[in-house]
């Protein structure tokens, strides 16, 4: 029994740093459509944006949509996790990947919201 506990302990010790390191991995931006569908299915409706030094950019949403939706749903900044507020514009590849992810994510959330509303309207039809 002691051997099993020690084995699990060392296994956790060895894998924990790899897991913490992977939280900063930009490959987590690989599946915006799947991420958006999973979030909507779980009831976590939120939109994503890119925090630039002067503004919060929300690809896929017009200014009118952003104002309306921000009253009811949160807008999460993608680059808060990587702390790239100041230097994001200096790295065009990272900015492009953030914009692409945010665009696909936001459009998918809008689409899923419309589908959900349509299903709710048709749900009680006889």
Residue 26 has pLDDT above 90, yes or no: no
Look over the chain and give the mean of its residue pLDDT values, rounded to a whole number.
78
Residue 123 has pLDDT above 60, yes or no: yes
pLDDT score at 92: 84
Answer whether 4's CB lies under 8 Å from 74's CB: no
Question: How would you label 18-31 residue by residue, b for 16+ Cβ within 10 Å and e otherwise?
Answer: eeeeeeeeeeebee
pTM, entire model: 0.72
pLDDT tens figures, 43-95: 899 999 988 878 889 999 999 999 999 899 999 988 765 555 556 777 788 88
Tell which wins on pLDDT, 5 or 40: 40
């Amino acid at each position: 029994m002691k051997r099993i506990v020690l084995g699990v302990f060392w296994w956790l010790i060895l894998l924990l740093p790899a897991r913490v390191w992977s939280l900063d991995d930009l490959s987590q931006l690989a599946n915006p459509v799947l991420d958006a569908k999973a979030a909507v299915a779980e009831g976590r409706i939120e939109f994503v944006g890119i925090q630039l030094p002067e503004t919060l950019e929300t690809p896929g949403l017009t200014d009118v949509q952003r104002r309306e939706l921000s009253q009811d749903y949160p807008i999460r900044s993608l680059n808060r996790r990587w702390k790239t507020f100041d230097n994001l514009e200096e790295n065009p590849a990272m900015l492009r990947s953030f914009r692409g992810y945010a665009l696909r994510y936001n459009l998918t959330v809008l689409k899923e919201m419309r589908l959900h509303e349509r299903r709710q309207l048709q749900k009680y039809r006889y």
